[in-house]
Structures are given as C-alpha cells and as structure tokens.
Chains A and B, each alone.
Chain A
Amino acid sequence: MAELKEELKEKIIAVLNLEDIAVEDINDNDPLFGEGLGLDSIDALELIVLMDKEYGIKLSDPKQGKTIFESIESMSAYIAENRTK
C-alpha cells in the first residue's frame, strides 16, 4: 500500500504539472482539492483519465470522483480494491 501511495503521488505530480511540489509534500490524508493542492475541475477530469490509463478503472459518474479523490488515502484504497491492471 505504501508503495502504491508513493507511486500515486509521483504520477499526480507529473500528470497535473504540480510545480515545486515533491512526493514528501503530500500527506496521505491531505485534501487534494480546495485548500489542499488547489486542484480544479480539469484536474479532476485528468485524474479520471489517470485511473483508466494506469489502473484500468473506469469512472463513468464524475460525482463518484468526489469521494474517491478526497485524498491519497481514499484514492489508493479505491485503486487497490478495483484495479484491473
């Protein structure tokens, strides 16, 4: 799990072009949206693509994303349970 979280942080930083943010800067329970990393609606859509491309998880309902993308903790838990690749 720790490995998955680490990998996920790296991927998020790369995919969302988070400048000057390192893996160590993101805590597992930090909110990703709003006050946390300050991600916006396009970032949320980009995370949906990331889930599909990297882990073979298709999220068809954007509302689902809200709870899944709350934090690294929630995201990695969902991936571990539902990944197909």
Chain B
Amino acid sequence: MRVWKPVYIHDSNCVTPLGDGIAETWRQVTAGNSAIKQQDVGTIKNVFVAKVQHEMHRSIAPAATESLLEQLLLRAAEPLLKKRQPNPRTALVLATTKGEIGYLSKGHSAGALLTVLAKKLAHKMNIVTEPIVVSQACVSGVLAISVAKRLIQMGLFEDAFVLAGDEASEFVLSGFQAFQAMSPFPCKPFDKHRAGVTIGEAAACMYLSAVPGRFVIRGEGAINDANHISGPSRQGEGLYRSVRQAIKEAGIRNEDIDFISAHGTATLYNDEMEAIAFNRLGLAHVPLNSLKGYFGHTLGAAGLLETTVSLKAMEEGVLLPTLGFQELGTTQPLQVVRRSSTQPIPFLLKTASGFGGSNAAIIIEKVC
C-alpha cells in the first residue's frame, strides 16, 4: 500500500459582506452579526440576500476596472500572496459555479466563460501553470481543496492556491425562486421552521503545500448520490459514503471527530438528509453548525469560505453557533450549536452537498 505525503493548509482568507478579510469577518461572526439583508437584486424585489454593499465594494476597489467577483477573489488572495510567491510548479484551483455570469445579460457570453476568469486571476497572481477550474455545484469549494491535495500528492504540483467565489446574481436568484427554494426570511438551518435557502456572495482563498504547516488534511471524499439531479438521496447515501471515505483515509475512528461544519442550507430536504447521514455515521452527538445564517449560501464559494472560518474557530477553540437556529427540525437528533462556547477542536469534519447529487467531505487536523 502506497504511503502518501501529507498535504498541509498554511493560510486561508475570505472576503465576505461582513468583512474584508478573515479577521474582520471573524469579529463580525463572533458578535453574532449576519450579512443577510432584504434588498432588490436586479428585477427581483425585496429578497433576503447576503450581498457586498456599495461602501465595501468601493473601499476594496476605488477605481478598479475588474468585475466585483474578480475583485473579491483577488482581494481574498492578496494577504496570502504577500507571504508566498508562486513558483513555476504552483497550481491555481478555482472553485465556482457561475463565475462571471453577469456578462450574459449584456450579451457577452465569452466573458462569462469560467476559463476566462481563471486565466485573468492566474495572470494577476503570477501563476504560470494552466488554472484548474472545479465546477461541481455547491460542493465546488470543498472539492477544490481535495483536488489541490490530490494533485500535490501525485507530485504534479509543489503547492497550490485554492480560490473560490460566486456572486448572488439575478441569474441565480431567479432560478432558486423558480425552484421555490428561497426562504421568505433569513435562512434557519436545521430549524423546525426552516423554509429554504438565502443566497449570498463571497470569495475565499487557501494556500496548500506538502511542507508542514498549521493544519493537515487527513482524509477526504466526494461521492455522488446517483439519486436525483435536484434532490438529495433520502438516506444521505453520497454524504455518508463521502464521510466514510474521509474517515478511512484519515485512519481515525468516527468518535475522534470533534466538530462538524455542516452544509445546512435550510431547505427541508437537505438538512433532513444531513441529519440522517450523520446519524448513520454515529455522529449525532458531535457539535455541528451551519454558517449559512451569517453569509447565506455562497454556492461554489461556500465550502472554502466555511472551511476558512472553521479553521479560525479551531485556532481560537471556539464553537460558533448556528445563526437562525432555534428548535431542531430534523427527524434524527443532531448536536446543533446554539450558543458560542470554547472547546479545543483538534479534528474538523467539513461537508457539503449539492445539485447533481454531489457531496464532499474533508477531515482537517490542527497541527500546532
């Protein structure tokens, strides 16, 4: 059996409507603030959404020619690039579902291609290898970390910048509305009265390499439900298998997991499916949260953003509460974190699930 070299997470950062950078975002999250506001998005009126507000947009890029998404992504990467210069064997892995989809409404479909965005970013970040774009619906962010890890382990790259970003566009909001999946109030993950998702926008960046660092990726998996393109398997089969795969690779026992950063979109079926999968895995008693109440569902960015915030929580030893959650609304028990508390978190399990039957799970251990 082959022994794989471990891959480490050295740094990660995010730009969210709550703050430009992980430090400010963390400060806002621990103060219990949410980015979700009722506002108009294009022709869609009075919708609850977590969007970057005008003042922040201006402060990030006072005279920029780039689009909002490009600015957010580059801004998220900036502090990481200051510490480490890309070399000829550095990968760029970009996770996004819709990228610059806003160009379509202007009749400019070429500008909306994901590879165009990826190449612009690579160029500006001085990364010379061909960028890798992962577009796997709402698991893109988590899966992109795994992709970077796998390719570093194969020796194809020495290190990697993983970027993830998506915008809360009219394109996406109109679709979720047609799906009747939008919550009429800020989303309430795992709650009895949950009624759908709230969409958000954000960008995140993470730097990985085989050089020992602050966190190590112990195991991961990304397994399909093969059930329905827009609904999860009732038994949470793909999520169950993804977590089992991650645990097996990590070589740990299920009970070693200290904390779960769940997907928790607050749709009826998703949260129920997660509860079933975690119960099948014997993880019902493990403290768990969903961060969707702070940032909304940031689609392709969600997994990387939530991992970034969870790594900060591991460093601080803080269990972040699930904003919007009051009373458990799943048929199976879950230990949903309601109030902030302090506790060491050596092992994190991060999961995501999405359209197309996709799921992803990753286990991260705090090294020092």
Contacts and interface: CB of A to CB of B under 8 A. Distances in A.
A and B touch in the complex (CB under 8 A): yes
Given A48-B180, A49-B178, 10 more contacts: A40-B228, A41-B228, A41-B230, A41-B231, A42-B229, A42-B230, A45-B178, A45-B179, A45-B180, A62-B180
Interface string A39-76: 01110010011000000000000100000000000000
Contacts of B231: 41
Nearest to A40: B228
A40 B229 CA distance: 11
12 contacts: A40-B228, A41-B228, A41-B230, A41-B231, A42-B229, A42-B230, A45-B178, A45-B179, A45-B180, A48-B180, A49-B178, A62-B180
Contacts of B179: 45
B327 to A, nearest CB: 22
Contacts of A62: 180
A58 to B, nearest CB: 12
Interface of B: 178-180, 228-231
A45 B181 CA distance: 11
Contacts of A41: 228, 230-231
Contacts of B180: 45, 48, 62
B226 to A, nearest CB: 15
A41 B267 CA distance: 15
Nearest to B181: A45
Interface string A8-46: 000000000000000000000000000000001110010
A8 B198 CA distance: 34
Contacts of A45: 178-180
B269 to A, nearest CB: 10
Nearest to A60: B180
A19 B336 CA distance: 46
Nearest to A42: B230
Nearest to A41: B231
Contacts of A49: 178
Nearest to A61: B180
B232 to A, nearest CB: 12
A6 B180 CA distance: 28
A40 B230 CA distance: 11
A41 B230 CA distance: 9
A49 to B, nearest CB: 6
A48 B229 CA distance: 19
A49 B229 CA distance: 19
Nearest to B229: A42
